[in-house]
Amino acid sequence: MDIKKTFDEEAKIYERTSREVNIYFDEALDFLVKNLEINQNVKILDVCCGTGILTDKVLKSYPNVSVTGVDFSSGMLEVAKARLKGYNFTGVLGDVCNEKTFENLGQFDIIITSFGLHNIHGYENKQQALKNIASVLKNGGQYITCDILKGETQEIEQSYRQFQYEWLKKSYDEKQSQEWMSLLQEEDEQETFENNVKLLKYAKIENVKLLWQKQFLAIWSGVKNIN
């Protein structure tokens, strides 16, 4: 599957499908925004910013901050730029697994990301992506993410999948829900919370805390520490 092509094609309907497919979507993002460690003149990097849904919530809550959004989908960034016109937002086209994407971005006080990193396939690619991301986070800066988790056991994972299927049936018929389940299984490569902590530690992001969780959707935060 060409995930980039899929996101380019779905950019204009992404916001609607995000709320239909992703469990507790707005509740989770609103919680993340409320838990940002905001001071004056804060610079924020939104990794895998998509169409700017999370950035929009951030800028409406904290209009004095500046946000740079990075995404590998030009279609998604076009929508984000149109949505965030008039705000202090800069969109950057780039792959988070490529260190060159981050070379000229400068340093950020906070890095946020939502519903994105689970689309990176391969543990080593995830390591590289988080190392790249952390390279532009100031020492002592906050990293906070909202993403889906893999169950710690097969039984828990099965219960997560069943919950996802029941969630989809709120918006889709049975055939469409099954098609979505197949697509998600192909697109997603989530990790357990324990593995996410290990990935962040590799990137020198420590003191990772689980802030919020409902079913397989969670928010966790850590601090850059290069000492």
- Give the C-alpha distances (Å, rounded to integers) separating 170 from 22, 41, 188: 12, 41, 21
Q: How far apart are CA 92 and CA 5, in angstroms?
A: 17
pTM for the structure as a whole = 0.93
Q: What ranges do the domains of the chain cover?
A: 3-153+190-224
Instruction: Copy the structure tokens of residue 176.
Output: 């469409």
The architecture in CATH of the region 3-153+190-224 reads 3-Layer(aba) Sandwich (3.40)
On the 0-12 / 13-18 / 19+ scale of CB atoms within 10 A, 159 is middle
Specify the pLDDT at position 41: 83
Return the pLDDT at 4. Answer: 46
Q: Cβ atoms within 10 A of the Cβ of 120, count?
A: 20
pLDDT in tens, the chain (227 residues): 445 445 545 556 667 898 999 999 999 999 999 999 998 789 999 999 999 999 999 999 999 999 999 999 999 999 999 999 999 999 999 999 999 999 999 999 999 999 999 999 999 999 999 999 999 999 999 999 999 999 999 999 999 999 999 999 999 999 999 999 999 999 999 999 999 999 999 999 999 999 999 999 999 999 999 77
